[in-house]
Structure formats: C-alpha cells, structure tokens
Chain A
Amino acid sequence: MAIGPAATSVSGPHQASDADLLTACARRDHRAFRALVDRYYATVYRVVWRMTGGGAHAEDITQEAFLKLWSNPGQIREAGALKGWLMRVASNLAMDGFRAKPMKDLEAASDVSDGRPDAEEVQMKSWAARRVDSAIARLPERQRLALTLVHFEQMSNGAAAVVLEVSVDALESLLARARRALKEELAADRETLLEAVNVEGQIS
C-alpha cells in the first residue's frame, strides 16, 4: 500500500495536495484516500447532518459519498473542485434520502439534566440550539443547503453556487429567503433565544 511518487514529493500524504492525493487514489492507494477522508470527512458529515435534520443515517450518506470518490477518483476533472464535488454528491444523496424518509423533529428531543449547579443554563442552551436547528431543518432543502454551505461551512457564494449548480445571483436569493424565513420562524422566541446567546457567552 505505497503512496505514489506524486504524493511523496512532500513530507507525507496529509501534506499532499488534493491533486496528488486524487492521482494516488486512482492507483488504489489507501493512505492517500485516508488523507482525503481526514481532510474532508467532518465537513461533509456536518453538511449531511444538517440536510438530514440530524438523521441517524448521516454517517451512511457521508460514507457513500466517499465510496463514490474511491470507486472512481478520475471523475473529478479539477482537483480544486474536490471539496465542492463531495458536498454536491453528499447533499444530493441526503436530499434523496430525505424525500424517502421524513425528517425527525429536532425540537421534540428531550432534555437530560446532568445535575450540575449550572444545569438550568446548560438546559436552556440545549433548548436554544434545538430550537435553531429545528428552524433550519424546516427550511426548503435548497435554502437549507445554501445557508449551511455559506454560513456554517464558510464557503464563498461562488463556491456554494457551484455545489448547488446555480448562478451566484440565484444562490444569494436562496440565502436571502432562508434568512427571512428564519427570522419569521424564530421571532416568537426571540427574547428567550437572545438570552440563551448571553448564557452561551457566559458558559464558553
């Protein structure tokens, strides 16, 4: 399982470029694939988790996206587009799965008190997180994906537009509608949620 010469031109697979790692993956180099997994797995998982509303099958979907990469690394023409390709494949898989299985209600999950002195504050923070998660989960899926990529994964509007296969203008429209919908959804609990933000600041 030797990593290829392109990837060994630097000190190790974890420092190699995406292009070198993809080339090595095409030669069935497991260490190169592991380096890509270590580089992007958490990011892809977070997007899938958000798109499935915290679904238990987020891991399966994330793995399926990476297995598609492993089965044919040559399908990625530009190594610079790898992250976007993974995001697109994973989010499409998640949206297909989401249509088949209804999303679980994040807000319905129960709080568990840990008995510590600040348990009430922690519980409040937990409730606020679930309230926000639930509001995001209620967004139409393309608005949710746009918000996730840009707000939570700090992708540029251009890169997120490529993932969604829309123009930058269309992406900005999706973002604006998502934010407007969230404001309306969270308005009823605005004061309590902002209080939770202050608690969050005190705890962290």
Chain B
Amino acid sequence: MTRDSMSDQELDRLLALASKPAPPRGAEDRLMAKINPENVVAFRLKQKKAQSAISWIAALPLAASLAFGIWLGAAGIGTDILPESLGGDAVAAADVDVFTGIEEAETLAEDNQT
C-alpha cells in the first residue's frame, strides 16, 4: 500500500462525513396538498348558465329596437324629424370653388412665370 492509498475502513470513515440531507420543511404537506380535492377549483357551470341567460335577455330589446328602426326607415315614417344636414340636398348645394381655390393658384403661377 502506497502512502496515499486508502483502506476500506478509511473510505468508510470519509463517507460518514457526507451530507445527510433532510427534506425541506413542509415538503410532505405540500405533497398532500397536491392530492387534496379541496384545492381543486371546480368549474361553476350553473353560474355560467345564468350569466348566459342574462345576456340573451338583455339582447332581446336591442334586437327589437333595431328591427323597429329598419321598419320605420323602409316605410318612410318619421323622416321629417331628421335634421336638414342629413338630407341629400345639403351636399349637392355646396360650391366646389369655395373649397379648392384653383383659380388663385393658376393666377399665382402665371405671375411667377412673368
């Protein structure tokens, strides 16, 4: 046996130095929590159904109002209560020259050339 060689007894003594880890505190409780059905959040189907019914009830008057509006428009009832600006004549009466200024631009261009 050389000076640095190690006997079985010495190795056993060294192995006794090895760590002896203990589970982290509460590890067993955390495991039990994973299998505990009390921790499972159940899907609340009844409440979901109730919410769905309420939304349909709220949609009924909206749908009726829309249908009534379409019927009024088709029958031409109440068109006289609309403001004039929403009529077709308002756009036709506009003077395009007021908005474009094309004449002034042409004059300016001629002045610059001369």
Contacts and interface: CB of A to CB of B under 8 A. Distances in A.
Given A34-B32, A59-B27, A63-B34, A194 B8 contact: no
B10 A41 contact: no
Interface stretch (B14-22, B55-63, B102-110): B14-22
Contact of A196 (B5, B17, B19, B28): B17
Contacts of B5: 183, 187
A125 B18 CA distance: 10
Contacts of B13: 194, 197
B35 interface: yes
B14 A132 contact: yes
A133 B32 contact: no
Nearest to A34: B32
A187 to B, nearest CB: 5
Contacts of B36: 30
Contacts of A193: 14, 17
A57 to B, nearest CB: 12
Given A182-B11, A187-B6, A41 B31 contact: yes
A70 B13 CA distance: 39
A131 B15 CA distance: 10
B22 A30 contact: no
A42 to B, nearest CB: 6
B78 interface: no
Interface of A: 30, 33-34, 37-38, 41-42, 45-46, 49, 54, 58-59, 62-63, 66-67, 70, 125, 128-133, 136, 151-152, 179, 182-183, 186-188, 190, 193-194, 196-197, 200
28 contacts: A30-B36, A33-B35, A45-B21, A45-B27, A46-B20, A49-B21, A54-B19, A59-B23, A59-B24, A59-B27, A62-B23, A62-B31, A67-B31, A70-B35, A129-B18, A130-B19, A132-B15, A132-B18, A133-B19, A151-B15, A182-B14, A183-B5, A183-B6, A190-B10, A193-B14, A194-B13, A197-B14, A197-B17
